Amino acid sequence: MEDGYKGLRLTNTLTRTKEEFRPLDWADASLSANDKRVRMYVCGPTVYDNAHIGNARPVIVFDVLFRVLRHLYGQNHVTYARNITDVDDKINARAARDFPALALNAAIAQVTAATTQQFHKDVAALGNLPPTVEPRATDHIEAMKAMIEVLVEKGHAYVADGNVLFHTPSMAEYGQLSRRSLDDMIAGARVEVASYKKDPTDFVLWKPSTAGEPGWPSPAGIEGVGRPGWHIECSAMSEKHLGAEFDIHGGGLDLIFPHHENEIAQSCCAHGTIRMAQIWLHNGFLQVEGRKMSKSEGNFITIHDLLETSNVGGRSWPGEVVRLAMLKTHYREPLDFTVARLEEAARELDRWERLARAGESGLNVATPDPIFVEALKDDLSLSQAIARIHELFDLGQVGEAMASLQLIGIDAIRTQTISEEHLARIEERLNLLKVKDFAGADVIRDELAVQGIQLKDGKDPVTGERITNWEIRR
């Protein structure tokens, strides 16, 4: 029986080795060929603030993997779940700060709706496909409570001071992902100290809510209302949409401990399984101009900043430039996000577009280049894959190059469109030129140039009237 191996090899954080990827469904004789799915879960945003460029990296990395899996197994045979965390103490704090006149729950609704909408807009502008399913934490509270009840019944969790906590010593394998002992975890000071814990490394599954905070009837016989801990959310949502065991779990390197470690503990102990996901993938950290990104450093950059303001390098950056700049470093390596890197990506895209437009007669190739695909199948080796793109353009194989770029979410020939607001500014400038207000016209020209729109003045060949065309500079 076919085992589903398509040549894809991925580096598994759990085993610290590069492994041949064989989807679980292909080993299930009870499933028909049409019912087999590759199942992947990636931790999504906590919607209390606009996503920053560190958040963008896993979205782009796992979008590329999603595209590669669809290419290898077929679009209808891949299920990609990326969650929205819409219940969290950070959301509560932001809501209380931004909407002090509203009741907290109403303020939370305002924050989560606006932030989720901005997240969707930002990641779409970066060329990412929507996931197959996007579960929200607040829609899965009952599933979380049911899992908590099971963990208490099996002796892996206990009630203390209105909280339900997972007892880490109850799982002999706890720490297998991060490869930390319980003593190391305590020494690392990444555990919350509380007198009611049986062990310092025990973590919260459910906690009480105070008046006005989001709350649901508590599980495990606790009176009153409460809300879930962060880790139980992903365990419940992944089980609901992908099953007790699935193929790939992804996220940033910072999530290995405690979040992913605790997900494994909850899920395996609740379901009685030896694993939650067979392959764990983690992208490396991101820094900005050689320094850790933080608001205190003054180098905190949101996706919105990059795409729609002139706060980075004095101009806004098209989504495909940001995407390519991110992909030029292997996903497992640390990435130094610099203006020079953006400029290099913009130059490459400019060159590819010129070559693509010059060779449009050969654009009828529908399949990516095999050497390019082989590079992707080797643990998403995008540096090799992009090097192959340059080779294809140099060889005049424009169609193969374009089809290959499209596989990773980049279009070599981009539509030259601008917004209604930009069109209105161009019209305003033309009116200023008509009355010979050249200084005012220059202000608008320079403003648009900063936003990547280069204006080109000329005359209509028939009427002789002044006209302005534009070019979007990458």
Strands 163-166 and 203-208: antiparallel
- Known binding residue 43? Answer is yes
Residue 400 labelled as part of a binding site: no
The answer to whether 259 is a known ligand-binding residue is: yes
Query: Using the 8-state DSSP alphabet, how is residue 211 labeled?
Result: T
Q: Give the whole-angstrom CA distance, residue 267 versus residue 269.
A: 6
Between CA 283 and CA 272 the distance in angstroms is 29
Cα 357 from Cα 339, distance rounded (Å):
27
Amino acid at site 39? R
In the block, tokens 């959301």 appear at 91
If we measure between CA atoms, which residue out of 84, 67, 171 comes closest to residue 134?
Answer: 84
| Tokens representing residue 104 in the block | 């907290």
Q: In three state form, how does the secondary structure of 121-136 look?
A: HHHHHCCCCCCCECCE
| Number of neighbouring beta carbons within 10 Å of residue 143 | 18
Query: Does the annotation flag 297 for ligand binding?
Result: no
Query: How many helices (H) and strands (E) would you count in the chain?
Result: 15, 16
Q: Residue 189 is encoded by which pair of tokens?
A: 């000071």
Classified as helix, coil or strand, 322 is: helix
Cα pseudo-dihedral 346, 347, 353, 355, rounded to 10: -170
Residue 391 to residue 191: CA distance in whole angstroms? 50
Answer yes or no: are the C-beta atoms of 250 and 244 closer than 8 Å.
Answer: no
Rounded CA-CA distance 356/358 in Å is 5
Strands (E) across 49-162 are located at: 78-82, 157-160
Helix H or strand E segment including 455: strand 453-459
Helices (H), 359-397: 370-377, 382-394
What DSSP string describes 59-74?
HHHHHHHHHHHHHHH-
Distance CA 185, CA 42 (A): 24
Alpha carbon distance 253, 55 (integer Å): 12
Tell me the binding residues: 43, 234, 259, 263, 295
Known binding-site positions for ATP: 295
Q: Which residues are known binding-site members for Zn(2+)? A: 43, 234, 259, 263
